[in-house]
Structure 1
Amino acid sequence: MRSCKQNRGLIISLIRREVLGRYKGSVMGLFWSFFNPILMLAVYTFVFSVVFKARWNVNSTSKTEFALVLFAGLLIFNVFSECITRAPGLILGNVNYVKKVIFPLEILPVIALGASFFHFLISLSVWLLFYVIFFGLPSVYFLELPLVMIPLLLLALGFSLFLSSLGVYVRDIGQIIGVAMTVLMFLTPIFYPISSLPPEYQDVMRLNPMTFIVDQARDLMIWGKSMNWSLWAVWMVVSSTIASLGFAWFQKTRRGFADVI
């Protein structure tokens, strides 16, 4: 936190450069940040609600509701997935910063997280627009969504710190993480409600932190339910611990970055 505070100007500047640089030279520019989530939403909705005849509620046949429920889960998961997928290459992709003694390397995962969060806000605005058009204003509990995001951001930051450091020493980690994120996406209740699973599998699924975060986000965004504060407190402790351990690992291993690279 102290490093982020001291380097907040640099972090904001690099996040802006990261976001704009991704679309630099493209015809549509930042419009891609709107187009991509809408396209993926349309594809997933067609595959699951039309091809596989999936329904979130047994009594509901609304493809619009299914699309918004699906989109809400993808919004949350994509923040985590984008950060973790990019993490192993963060240091290797910024060798020039490693050679600069005064550059705070620990902010690189923060920058990646900031860019991912920017795209989350864009996608959330798209979701909110469609929700208002078809169902009206969401519940007042929607305002609790930023609190749900805190353990998610801490988890993403902690794992990003750990993986960005590990990626310097073990180059295969990037390939492993790509497969792991695909597996995790289907082990998170994004495309199906956790209640549709047998009870013994539900208990295992709840060990996945993304299960709690995705379910809670949907409760606030769609179902009009308040947050489970006791579980939120538990995952806050867990995510804070992971973030702290990730930072400690990063600081311990960063001394060898220049030699290995």
Structure 2
Amino acid sequence: MSRREVVGRYKGSVLGLAWSFFNPVFMLTVYTFVFSEIFKSRWAGGDESKTQFAVLLFVGMIVQGLFAEVLNRAPSLIVYNVNYVKKVVFPIEILPIVAMGAALFHSLISMSVLLIAFVLFNGYLHWTAVFIPLVLLPLIVLIIGFAWMLASLGVFLRDVGQTITIITTVLMFLSPVFYPVSAVPEKFRVWIMANPLTFIIEQSREVLIWGRLPDWTGLSIYMVAAVLVAWAGFAWFQKTKKGFADVL
């Protein structure tokens, strides 16, 4: 189902699946130009090249994009798949996982673009990049938990879809996508660190860009919290799904 969703998204277009490659490259180019040339943004130290700034920016964009793509779609997953709700034998709780599978495909394409660009710009690739799946795993679990909650709420409260789009947009600017955490004033830093994207973005940069080992303790704590959220989301979905057919 994830494969069908990915293929169906570009069905009928001339470039087809190539759009999944060109979209992140285009956005990366625009954001890099705006923040490095117009806003004159610089990372900690301020002496990195534009290519280094580009890959730092791209890491944050990939993580935030994975988060936003699934959660923005979650409120409409059940509403747009009414036929599955009416089929008792169909496990509708897999719909958020299908959306996650499609989002991971696009993230994989973007990650491949990032790694190729890093090698071209620097001539090498840090061996610690092999840890990126483990870094992203807790976030994936957390997103699926949120997606179950939002998919259920979206059936009963149609405003959820509009609200979550605003929230994911706000979180993009309240995450260290375009700036390092060190650039945030101390009095606001606690709010940035409370953002679920911040830790994963920072750890992704550690293993991909800086060549350092991830914070295993932090990832373990994050994973425990993510599993609890996923369990709560699944329990809520199972409790409320009996009313989907009546509402729809």
Q: CA RMSD in A?
A: 0.9
Distance 1:27 1:93, change over 3 A: same
Quick one: which of 242, 251, 255 aligns to 2:229?
242
Q: Residue 61 of structure 2 corresponds to which residue in structure 1? A: 74
Q: Residue 208 of structure 1 corresponds to which residue in structure 2? A: 195
Could you report, residue by residue, the CA deviation over 1:160-214 in whole angstroms, capped at 9, with x for unpaired residues?
A: 0000000000001101011111100001100000011122322221111210000
Q: Residue 57 of structure 1 corresponds to which residue in structure 2? A: 44
Report deviation, 1:61: 4.5
**Cα separation, 2, equivalents of 1:85 and 1:185:** 13
Map 1:32-51 to 2 at 5 A: 32-51=19-38
TM-score, structure 2 normalization: 0.98
Report deviation, 1:65: 0.6
Q: Is the aligned partner of 1:218 residue 2:205?
A: yes
Identity of aligned residues (%): 53
Residues paired across the two proteins, number: 248
Map 1:111-260 to 2 at 5 A: 111-260=98-247
Q: State which drifts further: 208-217 or 49-58.
A: 49-58
Unaligned runs of 5+ in 2: none
Q: Residue 90 of structure 1 corresponds to which residue in structure 2? A: 77
**Cα separation, 2, equivalents of 1:124 and 1:231:** 23
Could you report, residue by residue, the CA deviation over 1:46-105 in whole angstroms, capped at 9, with x for unpaired residues?
A: 110011000113341411110110001111111111000000000001011011010000
TM-score, structure 1 normalization: 0.93
**Cα separation, 2, equivalents of 1:245 and 1:60:** 45
**SS of structure 2 residue aligned to 1:58:** coil
**SS of structure 2 residue aligned to 1:53:** coil
Matched to 1:156, the amino acid is I
Q: Residue 107 of structure 1 corresponds to which residue in structure 2? A: 94
4+ runs deviating over 2 angstroms: none
Could you report, residue by residue, the CA deviation over 1:92-145 in whole angstroms, capped at 9, with x for unpaired residues?
A: 010110110100000000000000000000011111111111112221111111
**Cα separation, 1, equivalents of 2:32 and 2:107:** 19
**Cα separation, 2, equivalents of 1:152 and 1:59:** 30
**Cα separation, 2, equivalents of 1:136 and 1:236:** 34
**Cα separation, 2, equivalents of 1:87 and 1:39:** 26
Matched to 1:191, the amino acid is F
**Cα separation, 1, equivalents of 2:124 and 2:10:** 32
**Cα separation, 2, equivalents of 1:212 and 1:222:** 15
Report deviation, 1:158: 0.4
**Cα separation, 2, equivalents of 1:89 and 1:245:** 20
